[in-house]
């Protein structure tokens, strides 16, 4: 008889530990799993959507039949909508949350415990111009996967890369421009491997990047009430502003060629849903800056869209020259989540610039993430 209580509780414990560090995951980012047997059947307990690693409990894990997940990995094509409904049908407890979109990938990794984070240090190096070469040097025992869209395409890519693969020699996986996986049959060891691997990237950064965050004091006045009204008008609902005038934010906002500097994309693809690909840049006329942002957003939509519905083109945050960062959320909580993501992005951009230049995923990859059919399905239900 397998002791399921023990598997899940250890899994909850190390998931919470990973979630406690905002340098590993932010607000719903990352996912974890454990494989266990229930009534003789192999089951993957994987983080359910809507749960944060820091506070996840046993009921936050979705129990999905391994056999179904592994069958899915062998398919040539699978829409994300079909993947989600197929996974839901393969859950042994229908009241559990929807499994993470990375469930198939977790199933493919032949170890009991799997951890996935978007560690700042790893994505900072990965999002630099020579990122992939640097990552290969730092992680010689890891499987390095070039950027592909999360979900089925990512699982399929790893399935194909690991045919005739010696997993016993593999210490983890780096998803370029996205994050890192570690795994083991033991929950503590998988957690240890994560910390050890991320520490390698942190050591590399502290050896190779010297940042001097030292802005001039700001005397810039910004009419925040006017900004709020303007953004609310274009979003069509009330918003909360989160104003960030920290040393880091002011330094970031005081950079030369601010528009080119501060619009180089997201740190990890999931962030796009919160922050959009880029901020609005205000260097004077607020209204002009907003129209410029929305015009460029519509152009980006038209360039890549097929039959998608355009999201509201107003920005989710602004970088204001010699002032700082202002985030726009539906409420205070959302505005502060956006601010947290931007805070981590700013530091990563500044550091990656010292490694030869920050470079996030392409516009096309951003579009695919932002207009992921799972997100669009929700919109289509509303409209």
Q: Where on the chain is the footprint of Zn ion (CB under 5 A)?
A: 179
* Nearer of residues 177 and 339 to Zn ion, judged by Cβ: 177
Distance CA 78, CA 83 (A): 6
* Nearer of residues 99 and 179 to Zn ion, judged by Cβ: 179
CB neighbour burial string for 51-73, b if at least 16 within 10 angstroms, e if fewer: bbbbebeeebbbbbbbebbeebb
Minimum CB–partner distance for residue 268 and Zn ion (Å) = 6
Closest CA to 107 of 161, 139, 70, 157: 70
H-assigned helices in the chain: 4-20, 66-74, 80-89, 103-108, 120-126, 131-138, 152-161, 187-208, 224-235, 247-253, 258-261, 272-275, 286-304, 332-353, 363-370, 373-382
Sheet of strand 240-244, all strands in order from the earlier edge strand to the far edge: 240-244, 324-329, 317-320, 280-282
Minimum CB–partner distance for residue 314 and Zn ion (Å) = 26
Minimum CB–partner distance for residue 198 and Zn ion (Å) = 14
* Nearer of residues 135 and 325 to Zn ion, judged by Cβ: 135
What tokens were used for 296? 């460029």
Distance CA 9, CA 15 (A): 10
Distance CA 209, CA 156 (A): 36
Minimum CB–partner distance for residue 116 and Zn ion (Å) = 6
Structural contact between residues 129 and 356, judged by C-beta atoms closer than 8 angstroms: yes
* Nearer of residues 20 and 223 to Zn ion, judged by Cβ: 20
* Nearer of residues 62 and 248 to Zn ion, judged by Cβ: 62
* Nearer of residues 179 and 215 to Zn ion, judged by Cβ: 179
* Nearer of residues 17 and 266 to Zn ion, judged by Cβ: 266
Minimum CB–partner distance for residue 356 and Zn ion (Å) = 24
Structural contact between residues 48 and 97, judged by C-beta atoms closer than 8 angstroms: yes
Structural contact between residues 353 and 129, judged by C-beta atoms closer than 8 angstroms: no
Distance CA 287, CA 305 (A): 27
Structural contact between residues 129 and 45, judged by C-beta atoms closer than 8 angstroms: no
Minimum CB–partner distance for residue 1 and Zn ion (Å) = 35
Give residue number: closest CB to Zn ion.
179
* Nearer of residues 97 and 179 to Zn ion, judged by Cβ: 179
Minimum CB–partner distance for residue 193 and Zn ion (Å) = 17
Minimum CB–partner distance for residue 149 and Zn ion (Å) = 11
């Amino acid at each position: 008889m397998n002791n399921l209580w023990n598997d899940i509780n250890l899994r909850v414990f190390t998931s919470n530990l990973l979630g406690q560090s905002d340098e590993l995951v932010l607000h719903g980012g990352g996912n974890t799993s454990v494989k266990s047997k229930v009534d003789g059947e192999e089951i993957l307990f994987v983080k359910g959507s809507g749960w944060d690693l820091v506070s996840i409990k046993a009921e936050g894990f979705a129990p999905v039949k391994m056999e179904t997940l592994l069958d899915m990995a062998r398919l040539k094509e699978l829409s994300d909508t079909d993947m989600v409904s197929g996974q839901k049908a393969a859950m042994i407890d229908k009241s559990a949350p929807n499994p993470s979109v990375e469930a198939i990938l977790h199933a493919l990794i032949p170890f009991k415990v799997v951890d996935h984070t978007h560690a700042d240090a790893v994505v900072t190096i990965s999002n630099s111009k020579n990122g992939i070469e640097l990552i290969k040097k730092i992680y010689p025992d890891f499987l390095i996967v070039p950027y592909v869209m999360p979900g089925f395409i990512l699982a399929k890519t790893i399935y194909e890369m690991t045919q005739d693969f010696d997993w016993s020699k593999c210490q983890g996986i780096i998803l370029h421009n996205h994050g890192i996986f570690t795994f083991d049959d033991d929950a503590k060891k998988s957690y240890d491997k994560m910390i050890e691997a991320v520490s390698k990237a942190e050591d590399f950064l502290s050896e190779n990047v010297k940042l001097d965050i030292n802005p001039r004091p700001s005397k810039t006045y910004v009419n925040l009430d006017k900004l709020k009204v303007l953004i609310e008008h274009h979003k069509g609902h009330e918003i909360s502003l989160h104003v960030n005038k920290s040393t880091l934010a002011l330094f970031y906002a005081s950079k030369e060629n601010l528009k080119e500097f501060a619009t180089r994309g997201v740190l990890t693809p999931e962030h796009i849903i919160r922050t959009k690909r880029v901020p609005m840049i205000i260097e004077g006329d607020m209204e002009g800056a907003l129209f410029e942002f929305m015009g460029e957003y519509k152009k980006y939509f038209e360039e890549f869209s097929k039959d998608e519905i355009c999201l509201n083109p107003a920005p989710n945050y602004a970088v204001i020259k010699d002032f700082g960062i202002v985030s726009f959320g539906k409420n205070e909580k959302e505005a502060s989540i956006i601010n947290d993501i931007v805070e981590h992005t700013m530091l990563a951009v500044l550091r990656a610039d010292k490694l030869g230049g920050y470079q996030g995923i392409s516009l096309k990859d951003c579009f695919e993430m932002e207009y992921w059919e799972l997100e669009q399905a929700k919109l289509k239900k509303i409209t």
